[in-house]
Chain A
Amino acid sequence: MITCDEFLAEFGDYLENRVSPEVLKELELHLSQCRSCHVLYDSTRQTVQIVTDSGSFELPQNVSESMIDQVMAKLRAERA
Chain B
Amino acid sequence: MSFLPEVDLGDEFQPFATLDEVRGSIPKLLRAQSLLPRVIEGHAILEKAVRLDRGVISREQKERILLCIAAARHDTYCAGLARNALRLLGEPDYRIDGLLDDHSRIDLPVVEVALLDFCLKTALHSLSVSSSDIERLHQHGIADEAIIEAAVTAALAIYRCTLSVGLHPEPDGEPWKLPPTREGSLPEPAAHISTRKRPQAGPYVRAPYLSPQRFAPFEKVANSHGFIPNFFRAQTLRPDLLSAEVELVTLVLLPEDVLTRTQKETILLAVSAANLNSYCVAIHCNLLRGLGVSADEGEQIALDHHRSSLPDADKALLDFAIKLGSKFPEFSLDDVTRLRAVGFADQQILECEVVTALNNFANALQMGLGIEHDFEPPLAFEQKKANLCAALDRRTTEDSSISSVTVQVEDSDAELTAQAQAGSLDAFEELMRRHSRLVYRALAAILGDPDQAQDAMQDVMLSAYEHVAGFQARSKFSTWLLSIARNKAIEYLRKRKNEISLDEAPFREDQVFRPRELRAWVDNPEQAYSRLEIQQLIEKGIMALPAKYRIVVMLRDIEQLPIEETARQLDLSVPTVKVRLLRGRLMLREWLAPHFAAGSRRAAQ
Contacts and interface: CB of A to CB of B under 8 A. Distances in A.
Contacts of B518: 36, 39-40
Interface in A17-73: 20, 22-23, 25-26, 36, 39-40, 42-44, 46-48, 50-59, 63-64, 67-68, 70-72
A71 B458 contact: yes
Given A16-B578, A54-B535, A72-B425, A46 B525 contact: yes
Q: Which of A15, A43, A72 has the most CB of B within 10 A?
A: A43
Interface of A: 2-3, 5-6, 8-9, 11-13, 15-16, 20, 22-23, 25-26, 36, 39-40, 42-44, 46-48, 50-59, 63-64, 67-68, 70-72, 74-76, 79
A47 B586 CA distance: 8
B462 A71 contact: yes
B437 A59 contact: yes
Nearest to B520: A39
Interface string B438-461: 001100110000100010011001
B553 A43 contact: no
Interface in B548-605: 553-554, 557-558, 560, 563, 578-579, 581-582, 585-586, 588-589, 592-593, 596-597
A50 B538 contact: yes
Contacts of B428: 72, 75
A71 B461 contact: yes
Interface string B96-128: 000000000000000000000000000000000
Interface stretch (B206-214, B284-292, B299-307): B206-214
B229 interface: no
A56 B539 contact: yes
29 contacts: A6-B212, A8-B512, A8-B513, A9-B212, A16-B578, A22-B207, A26-B209, A39-B518, A43-B589, A43-B593, A43-B597, A50-B592, A51-B538, A51-B553, A51-B557, A54-B538, A55-B531, A57-B444, A57-B554, A59-B436, A64-B433, A64-B436, A67-B436, A68-B433, A68-B461, A71-B462, A72-B429, A74-B462, A76-B425
Contacts of B563: 16
Given A12-B582, A67-B458, A75 B534 contact: no
Residue among A15, A36, A68 with the most chain B CB within 10 A?
Answer: A68
Contacts of B425: 72, 75-76, 79
A22 B206 CA distance: 8
B454 A47 contact: no
Nearest to B437: A59
Contacts of B588: 47, 51
Contact of B457 (A20, A39, A67): A67
B320 to A, nearest CB: 36
B520 A43 contact: yes
Nearest to A20: B207
Contact of B211 (A2, A43, A57, A59): A2
Contacts of B207: 20, 22
Question: Could you tell me the dominant secondary structure of chain A's interface residues?
Answer: helix
Contacts of B581: 12
Given A13-B578, A68-B436, A48 B585 contact: yes
A3 to B, nearest CB: 7
Nearest to B539: A56
Given A20-B372, A22-B208, 15 more contacts: A22-B209, A39-B518, A40-B518, A42-B521, A43-B520, A44-B589, A46-B521, A46-B525, A48-B557, A51-B558, A51-B585, A54-B538, A57-B445, A59-B437, A67-B436
Given A5-B512, A8-B512, A57-B440, A68 B429 contact: yes
Nearest to B206: A22
Contact of A47 (B440, B445, B520, B585): B585
B233 interface: yes
Contacts of A13: 578
A20 to B, nearest CB: 6
B238 to A, nearest CB: 15
B321 interface: no
A64 B557 contact: no
Given A20-B372, A50-B525, A50-B534, A2 B457 contact: no
B183 to A, nearest CB: 40
B432 interface: yes
Nearest to A23: B209
Contacts of B441: 57
- Report, nearest first, the 4 A-B pairs whose CB atoms are least far apart: A12-B582, A47-B589, A54-B538, A59-B440
Interface string B254-297: 00000000000000000000000000000000000000000000
A50 B245 CA distance: 43
Q: Which of A3, A22, A56, A67 has the most CB of B within 10 A?
A: A56
B557 A40 contact: no
Contacts of A23: 209
Contact of A50 (B461, B520, B526, B586): B526
A6 B213 contact: yes
A1 B142 CA distance: 29
A16 B297 CA distance: 28
Contacts of A16: 563, 578
A35 B209 CA distance: 22
Interface in B202-227: 203, 206-209, 211-213
A6 B230 CA distance: 17
Nearest to A25: B209
A65 B372 CA distance: 45
B534 A52 contact: no
